A and B are shown apart, each in its own frame.
Chain A
Amino acid sequence: MRKLQVSGLRWLIHVAALLPLAVIIWDLTQGQLTVNPIEQIQLRTGKSALVLLVLSLACRPLSMVHGLKWVLQLRRPLGLYAFTYATLHLLNFIGLDYGFDLTLLREDIAEKSFAFVGLAAFLLLLPVALTSTRGWMRRLGKNWERLHWMVYLAALLAVTHFLLQAKADFREPLIYGMAVLLLLLVRIPGVRRVVRTLRCRTEEKST
C-alpha cells in the first residue's frame, strides 16, 4: 500500500514538475507569452528551477517527521527537474536571448554579478545532477554525500542570483532565501538532535 502511495506520488511529481514547461510551450504557441516572450521564458524557467530546488531540499527535514521517511524518494526527481529548468534557463539566456553571440554576451555581462552568481549555481548543480545515479552513489561512497552537500551552496547562490535581479522589491527573493536557510539550519547536527528529541517526545505521548 505504502509502495503504491509512493509510486503514485512520484507520478504526481513528474506531472507537476513538467507542468510549468507545458504551460510555457502552450502559451508560446498561443502567443500568450507577453510581447517579450524571451524574457518571460527566462523568468518562468528560473522560478521553476528555484521552487523545485527548495522542494528537493525540504525532503530530508520532512523525512525526519514520523512516518514520512518515504519522502526521501522524491528528492532525486525533484532535484533533477530543478536542474532541467536551470539548464533551460541558461540555454534560453545564451541561445535565444543572445543567439549564441558570445562577443555581445561578454560585453553585456562583463560587470554583472548576477550572471556570474547564476552561472556558479549552475556549475555546482552540474556534477550533483550527473552523479545522482545509484552507480555513482556506489562508486563515490562517502564522497558522494560530501559532493551532494553542494546543493545547499547552489541554492544559496540561486537565491542571491534572484536577489541581484530584483528591482528594488526584494520581498520574494528574501522569502526563498529564508526557506533555504531554514532548511539548512535543521540539518546542523545540534539542531537535528533537538528536532529528534522533540519527535521522540511527541511519539511517546501519542503511544
Chain B
Amino acid sequence: MDKISPSEITPEHLFFSRRQFLTSIGALVASSVLFSACKQQDVLSDTVTSDGCESAYASKSTDELGDDLTPCQSIINYNNFYEFTTEKEEVAYLARDFKTTPWTVKVGGLVNKPQTFDMDDLRRKFPQEERIYRLRCVEAWSMVIPWLGFPLAELLKEVEPTSKAKYVSFETLYDPEQMPGQNNRMFKWPYVEGLRLDEAMHDLTILATGIYGKSLSPQSGAPIRLVVPWKYGFKNIKSIVKIDLVEEVPVSLWMAAAPDEYGFYANVNPNVPHPRWPQSSERRIGEVSRRKTLLFNGYAEEVTHLYDGMDLRKFF
C-alpha cells in the first residue's frame, strides 16, 4: 500500500473552508437564479407588483393577431408625456402626484348642445369596454395595450355636431405647476391634437379611461385620453380637458414644432418615411429583433376606405 505523506493530506481547516466556499458559491448562484426568476414573474403576472399594476386584468392575453399583451409594468414605466419630461422612464415619477379629481371635459364648438362633463358623468353615461389595441410610436417602438374606454362617437352624438363641423380638436390640461415640462419653451403648449370628423366617428376611435381593468395612471394620460390605434402614438392626446368641433384643420403641437416631420394625419404607414426613425420596422417592447410595421398598424381593413383617393405621402 502506498503511503500518503501527511503533507499531501489537506489540513482539516482548509478542507472545511473550501467546502464552505463552495457552499457559498452555490448559494450565490441559487439566489441569483431565484432572483431573476422572481423578476421574470413580476413581468409576466403583474399582480405581484405595486405602483398601479396590482390586480391588473385583461380578458385575453393576446391581440387579434395573436401577439402577447405588453406587461402592465412596461406600459406604465415607459411613457412619452412631454408635459412632465422628455425622459420616458422619469414620467411615472414626476407625474405621481398629478391631480385628476375633480376633472371636467368641456365639449363645444360647432355643436348644438355644448356640454361640460365631469369624469363621473362620462363613466356613468358611457359604458366602459375593453379594447385591445396595438400602439405604434413614431419612434419605432410598439406595445399591445388592453384599454378601457368608450367610442368617441358616443360622446360626439351626445353634443350633436352641426353640419359645419369638419374636424375635432383636442386639448390637454395646461398647468405648468403640475406639469413642469410645460416650462420647456421649445414647444407651444398646451398640447393640441386633431382628427377629421369621420376619423373621430370611426368605431375604433375611443376615449380611454383605463388600462388592464384599472383607471389610467397619471403617466398614461389620466383621467381621460384619446386612442386612435391606426395612427402614430403622439396622436393619442392625454389628459384631455377640451374637445371642440371646428371647420378648419386644427394645428397640432407637433405640426407646429416640425411641420415637415409631423403631418395632420400621422397614419402608421411603412411606405411613408420619416427623416429620423425607420417606419418600415419597429421593436415590440419586450422583444429583441425588429418586426415589420403593418400598414395602418394592422387596421387597414377597417380604415383604408377613410383615405380613398388620397396621396398618403402628401397627406402624411
Residues of A within 8 A of B (CB): 31, 34-36, 38-39, 96-99, 101, 104, 107-114, 164-165, 167-171
State whether A108 and B280 are in contact (beta carbons under 8 Å apart), knowing that A97-B290, A99-B289, A169-B86 are contacts in the complex. Answer: yes
Q: 19 A-B contacts, Cβ less than 8 Å apart?
A: A34-B77, A34-B89, A35-B74, A35-B77, A35-B78, A36-B141, A38-B283, A38-B288, A39-B141, A99-B289, A104-B281, A104-B290, A107-B278, A111-B273, A111-B275, A112-B275, A112-B276, A114-B276, A168-B186
Given known A-B contacts A98-B290, A108-B281, A168-B257, A34 and B88 have beta carbons under 8 A apart:
yes
Which residue in A35, A39, A109, A113 is a CB contact (below 8 Å) of B286?
A: A35
Cβ–Cβ contact A164 & B275, under 8 A: yes
Instruction: Report chain B residues within 8 Å CB of A113.
Output: 275
Interface size on B, residues (CB 8 A): 27
- Chain B residues near A35 (CB, 8 Å)? 74, 77-78, 285-286
Residues of chain A within 8 A of B257, CB atoms compared: 168
Q: Which residue of B lies closest to A98 (CB)?
A: B290
Contact B273 A110 (CB under 8 A): yes
Contacts of A171 in B (CB 8 A): 186
Q: Are A169 and B78 within 8 A (Cβ)?
A: no
| A36:B280 contact, CB within 8 angstroms | no
Task: Please measure, in the bound complex, the distance between the C-alpha atom of A41 and the C-alpha atom of B88, giving whole angstroms.
Answer: 14
Output the nearest chain B residue to A31 by Cβ-Cβ distance: B39
A164 with B276: CB separation less than 8 A: yes
CB distance from B94 to the nearest CB of A (A): 16
The 7 tightest CB contacts between A and B, nearest first, are A108-B278, A35-B74, A168-B257, A169-B186, A35-B78, A111-B273, A35-B285
Instruction: With both chains docked as a complex, state the minimum distance between the C-beta of B292 and any C-beta of chain A, in angstroms.
Output: 8
Residues of A within 8 A of B265 (CB): none
A107 to B273, CA, bound (A): 10
Output the nearest chain B residue to A114 by Cβ-Cβ distance. Answer: B276
A114 and B197 alpha carbons, distance in the complex (Å): 37
Binary contact track B278-300/A, C-beta < 8 Å → 1, others 0: 10110101101110000000000
